[in-house]
Every structure is written in C-alpha cells, then in structure tokens.
Structure 1
Amino acid sequence: MTKLSLSKEKIKVVLLEGVHPDAEKLFRKDGYDNIHVYNSTPNDDELQNILADTHILGIRSRTQLKGQNLDTCEKLMAVGTFCIGTNQVDLDQCKSQGIPVFNAPFSNTRSVAELVMAEIILLLRGIPEKNAKAHRGQWFKSALNSNETRGKTLGIVGFGHIGSQLCILAEAMGMKVKYYDIENKLPLGNSEAVGSLEELLPQVDVLSLHVPDTELTQEMIGAKELALLPKGSFLVNAARGQIVVIDDLVKSLKMGHLNGAAIDVFPTEPASNNDPFESPLLAFDNVILTPHIGGSTQEAQVNIANEVADKLIKYSNNGSTSSAVNFPEVSLPALHADLTRVMHIHENKPGMLERINHAFSSQSINIAAMYLQTSGDVGYVIMDVNCESSDSIVKQLNDIDGTIRVRVLH
C-alpha cells in the first residue's frame, strides 16, 4: 500500500465524539484545513462511510475501531484516542495495516485522582445517603456511620499513574495507603505494597480500583473478593466497567456488608447523553453514581486534546511514532529541505533491511540518514535520501515481499 506525500490541505482529519476544540485548533495552526468534526458517535455504517477517505482519525472511548470498520479504511494512516484507554481499538489489526495508534496516558491523571479522593471523603461521611434523604425532604442529622479520613486505610489496586497520584492525595488527608500491583512498583511516601489482592482486601476501609480492562482484570471483584472486604467498608471504581461484577456488588450492599460505593464506570453505558441510564445500583442511597466522568474536566480535556493532536501531527509531518501504543517507536528530527523521507512499514522477518537497502543502491540513491525500529512482527525503517523523484523507488519498495506500507514525505 503506497502513501505518497500529500499536501496538508488534502489530508483529511476526522475528529469524533466531541473531541475538545483545541485539537482542531492545533491542526489548523499547523496548516491542516480539511478537518471534519462530529460531536456524536457514528453507527457502524456511518463510521465506514466516514473512514473511506479519512487519513487521520481522532476518537474517544465509544467509537469501536475493529473488524470491518478497519478493513475498509485503506487511506487511514494514524489514529488518536483522545483518552487513556485504547481497548476500543483493535491494536493488532491497526499494526498489521501499518496504522500507529496514539493516546494520552497521563493527561487526565489528576482529574481522576481528585474525583476519587472527593468520593472517598463523601462516602466516609455518609453524605450520599444524607443527600438523597434531604432531596426527599427528610432531615437525617446523625453522626452514625460518619467518619474522618484521617487514620483510615485506603487500598489501591493498580499503582500506576492514577493510583500513585491518589496515594499522594490520600496520605495528605491522613490516610494509610496499601496497594497491590501485578508489577513491582516503588512505594510513595509511607505507602506499603501488599503481595496479593487477597492479602490486601481484609486490611482496608476503602478499596479503589485503578487497573486497565484486560482478561486478568475482567470481573476481578466479585462475590468472593467483596466478602473479603471488612464489614462496613467501601468500594470505588473509576477504572473500567468490567472489573466489578455489579450483581455481586448489589447483593453485598443489600446484605449491609458494604456501607456504600462510588461507581463511575459500568459494564454497559448509554451511547449518548440522550439515552437512558439503567443499573440496579439506582436503588441505593449510599452509592454515588457518576456518568464516566473521572477524566472529564476542562483541564484534562485540554491536556488530552493537545497531547494527542501533537502526536498525530508529528507523525503526519515527519513520521515520528514516539509513544505509539501498538507500533515501533521512533523519534525523528525534522526533514531537511534538500532531502526526501521514505518510510517503509513491513513484516519483521529476516532479510528485510538487506532488500530495502538493495532497492536504493540499485537505483544509485544515496541514503543520508536511516532510522530503524521493530516491535513484534512489524518493522519500521525511515530513510532520508537524495533523489529528485521517488516514484521508481516507491514501486520497487512495494514489490518487496512483506511490505505493509510505503509513505513518502518531500
């Protein structure tokens, strides 16, 4: 598949799901004018029509970029997920089609941590139930089940960027922090690592989840795990909806084993703000329900818009793939005005570099600089060369068995 150099005004950029306007501004500032912005999530048929001639795609968490949706997008050269997660994208299929995927793994870290900390305070004080009763005209002035955060133990599952940021906030409020992570993570402050989830659960007053959606984490917290939590404790999930078995959580709340919960993510979520939200947790006054807004602050959305748009622009302008989640990572300098940059994405197998070099030497084309990186079954080689016309070398590169994509920048 050949991708010759396109002028910026011809490169079609599509931003779906109400990506923050700063992303569009950044593209336009860099000279991209063919930008199409959608505030909603298109259905599969609409998405396939949109992708038919799209070069750069920006999505958030709802758009599913998998299977047939990817099969038909022959012009697509890069995808940006304007969020932390990338489970809505088939990363392997994108990789096999030579499409790097970029995300914003750190931009909303503070926003999520602050929401969780606020919910912990509200849960410990029994505010959700008191607030619900007040809205119904009931005056529930009582210190029953109302406690300070100071001295309580917070258990964090997943000590990554958000979990560690929450640790800092919690310790500042006087909480003791214990955490469990499948990888060895250095403790922050006075926090303490625990060897297993089963060891952590009985020790906490509040359990907060901060793990990705993987086969290991799906239904990680079910009846067995909830029973291990101390009676009167609380659960907070602002990670992924599949991590907690909601029916088991409902049973634990009905039994009075848990004193409450705060849930920001759900196994099934409405497709838009106009669709109804349904959950058995609606019946509980002591549960905080929020509509997947952990990272939904103005600050986070601005940070995400700028981070992901900048990565997409750099890849489009000069081929840099630094921090791509599914692709060989190469950080490239700006292209010198007198050179042509040829990018070759290929199956990572023996002899590829030799054949690529032979293609250039057979046409007496001098390679001024070369960059190479591989990731699993895909290789990415970039050559800055001296040549007046790239047509013949592109044809020869495409004829190499195992070539996925050739792209040229002038």
Structure 2
Amino acid sequence: MALSLQKDKIRFLLLEGLHENALKVLQKAGYKNIESLSHALDQEELIEKIKDAHFVGIRSRTQLTREVLEHADKLIGIGCFCIGTNQVDLEAARELGIPVFNAPYSNTRSVAELVLAEAIMLYRGIPEKNATVHRGGWGKSAKDSHEVRGKTIGIVGYGSIGSQLSVLAESFGMRVIYHDVVTKLPLGNAHQVSNLQELLNTADIVSLHVPDEPSTRYMMKAEQFAQMKEGSYFINAARGTCVEIDDLAAALESGRVLGAAIDVFPKEPKSADEEFESPLRKFDNVILTPHIGGSTQEAQANIGLEVAEKFVRYSDQGDTVTAVNFPEISIPYKEGTHRLLHIHHNVPGVLSQINRLFADAHINILAQSLMTEGSVGYLMMDVDYHDSRAALDQLKDVAETIRIRVLY
C-alpha cells in the first residue's frame, strides 16, 4: 500500500540488452532511476536484484517464477520486450497484483520476412548447397531445386504473424491455405481449411505461428509429420514446445520431410557460452537459427517503444489496457483529482463495500471503473485531491485488498 512515489524514486530494472528506445521513453517521461543490464540473471542474482525494483523489463531468457516474484515486494509492473510471455508465471503475477505487458505486434514483419526467406532457401536447396561449398565441394545441380511460385504454403495459426506471412507469400505467387482454431477472415486469396490434417495433407510447406498453450504443446509429432506430403518442408518460428524434435528428426531421416527451418526449441541455451544441443544439428538440409525471428533492429526499436510506453501509462495513470494477465482499465485523467488504484481478491461485495465506506466518509467519487480477471479485481477511482488521504484510509480497511496505489 503506497502513496504516489516521486518519479526519481521509482526504480526500473531492464535486463537482456533492451533497445535504447526503452530508456529514451522512460527518461522522456521523467524516470531516471533505471538500471539496464546486457544479460539475463540466474535465479539467485535475479531475486537479489528484483527486491527493490518497481518495474522489470525482460526478453525471453529471464525466468520470472513464482518464487522470484514472491521476493519482489515492491514490484508493480512487468514488461516482456517480445511477443511471448511464457517466461513469466502469469498467474502468480496476477495474484500478487502485478500486470504483465508485452509487444504482440512490433516484430510481426521481421518474423514473416524470415519465414518467407527460409521457404525460398529450402525450396532452392540452399542449406545443403551452402554446407557443401563450405566443405570445399561444388554441388552445382538443379535437383530438388524449385521456385516457390505456384507452391502451397500451409500456415498454422492465422494471427498477426501468420496473416502477414500470408500476404507476403501470395505476393510471391504462392497459394496460401491456413488453419486456425477460430474462423478468421482471409487476406487476399488465402483459404481457411477445416482442420490441421487437411492442411498437412495439402501444403507443400508448413509453417507454425501459434501461441504456447496446452492445446499447441507438441502439436507436431510423428502422427502429424506422417500426414504431411512426401517431400514437403516444415518451418517453426512460433514456440519450441510445439514440436517433438525427435519426431521431426525421424521424418527428415526418412525423407518424408525434405527440409526444415527451426528458430525455436524446447530447450534453448541460457547464454552464448552454453552449447546448443539438438538432434537436428546433423542435417545439412535444416536451417537452425538461435531464436532470432524477431531480432531485427527495426523490431527491437519498435518493441522498446511499445512496452516502455505501456510502463509509463501504467505508472502515470494506472492504465492496464493490453495487459496479458490482468483486468484492462483506462479512464481519462481529470485535472484536480487524485487517482486510487485498488487491486483486490475477486469476491462478491468488494465494490459495494468500498462505495459504502466512501459514502459514510462523505467522499465523492468523480470517476470509477472495475474489471476482474481470474482471482483478481482491479478498481480505478478518481476523487477530489482534498479527499485522497481520507480515501486511502478507507481502502486500508478493506480486508480483500492486495495492493493500493495513489496517483497524483
């Protein structure tokens, strides 16, 4: 429970070499207490560093487990400067009253471009030819070398990346089919098929663009690879947990899958010093990249802006719109008011209890919005600045309170 801190007292911990745009946004908004590190921290170091942080910004390597979060008494916001959020225990963060923000759209173009480039390289047999030349060979041949024009690409997951890939692929003369768990309006001449098996049976090249969810974990295993067309190609730039790597290796060994490009893996090195291990390393017809689908300067610059701006809106106004684990609220700011942010256990009667306490104390509420998600409720209220101290005292009597902030 805290009054509004002065901006120079609010501490930001930024890990894994976030783009300088993140620092620029925070500094422009008046935040100066920023520690930026170029690497991830192991759990022990992270627990020690995060103790005094109000906001923490990470990429994909840092693991914010429940144990880590329970040591972060001052933490009020988490930013994943990437698309994925599976490196954070979202439920634990919500229970502790901590919203988590990410950048779901900033690197979509970068990923889509990489996938299309990999499709072209696979169809030309470039990975094998490149490996042969590096070893001193000269495998000049048109065998298994084709244009992508006229080929069918099957996109699994037609979200922001899948749909953008669809447009790019069609501009190269490819036929696009896609499968999604919900009906999606196609872009261009793309066609949604009724199920995954139909897509696997039909596509010349299959590309995954799905989130990490229980339904997508190891969705591509021996059974699915057996359903792919003989001599087709496979790309995964989505989540490492979507593919059973040993089964993909077996499909490549048998020739069922003629080549693959994999950017994400079930187990990835925590640093550049750790050796990457995978049964796919032995295949010359497989492109292996170190989780760089969104790693372009343009994407990182956009991500730095997007997530840092969400930090500022939450810190300055309590705005949680686009939070991935938290009730989403936004109220326009009014001059002459103080804003109370009340995070509480989601049980019946909390709002009526607060309104009754305020009425009894003759505190007039000028604006109010309540949303809930899971076990947590988030209440935003504006009161006259003369009443904010009394309002805070009333909120402290609410037994269901998790966290209170006052902004002014």
- TM-score normalised to the size of structure 1? 0.97
Paired residues for 1:3-402 under 5 Å: 3-336=2-335, 338-388=336-386, 390-402=388-400
Tell me the number of residue pairs that the alignment of Structure 1 and Structure 2 aligns.
408
Q: What percentage of residue pairs aligned between the two structures are identical?
A: 56
Letter in 2 for 1:22: N
Q: Which piece of structure 1 moves more, 367-376 or 206-215?
A: 367-376
| 1-structure distance, mates of 2:368, 2:223 | 55
- Give per-residue Cα distances to partners, 1:169-197, cap 9 Å, x unaligned: 11111111111111111111111111111
SS in 1 for 2:226: helix
SS in 1 for 2:240: coil
CA contact (8 A) 2:14 2:57 kept: yes
Report the Cα offset of residue 31 of structure 1: 0.7
Letter in 2 for 1:129: E
CA contact (8 A) 1:180 1:193 kept: yes
- Give per-residue Cα distances to partners, 1:334-364, cap 9 Å, x unaligned: 352x221111111222211111112222222
CA RMSD, Structure 1 to Structure 2 (Å): 1.2
| 2-structure distance, mates of 1:227, 1:302 | 41
| 2-structure distance, mates of 1:402, 1:181 | 40
| 1-structure distance, mates of 2:163, 2:316 | 35
SS in 2 for 1:242: helix
| 2-structure distance, mates of 1:270, 1:235 | 23
CA contact (8 A) 1:335 1:341 kept: no
| 1-structure distance, mates of 2:334, 2:103 | 26
Report the Cα offset of residue 121 of structure 1: 0.2
- TM-score normalised to the size of structure 2? 0.98
Question: Which stretches in structure 1 are left out of the alignment for 5+ residues?
Answer: none
- Give per-residue Cα distances to partners, 1:263-319, cap 9 Å, x unaligned: 001111111122221211111111101110000000000000000000010000011
SS in 1 for 2:241: coil
| 2-structure distance, mates of 1:359, 1:34 | 37
| 2-structure distance, mates of 1:199, 1:75 | 51
| 2-structure distance, mates of 1:305, 1:312 | 11
Report the Cα offset of residue 376 of structure 1: 3.2
Q: Which piece of structure 1 moves more, 198-207 or 380-389?
A: 380-389
In structure 2, the CA distance between the partners of 1:48 and 1:103, relative to structure 1 (3 Å rule), is: same
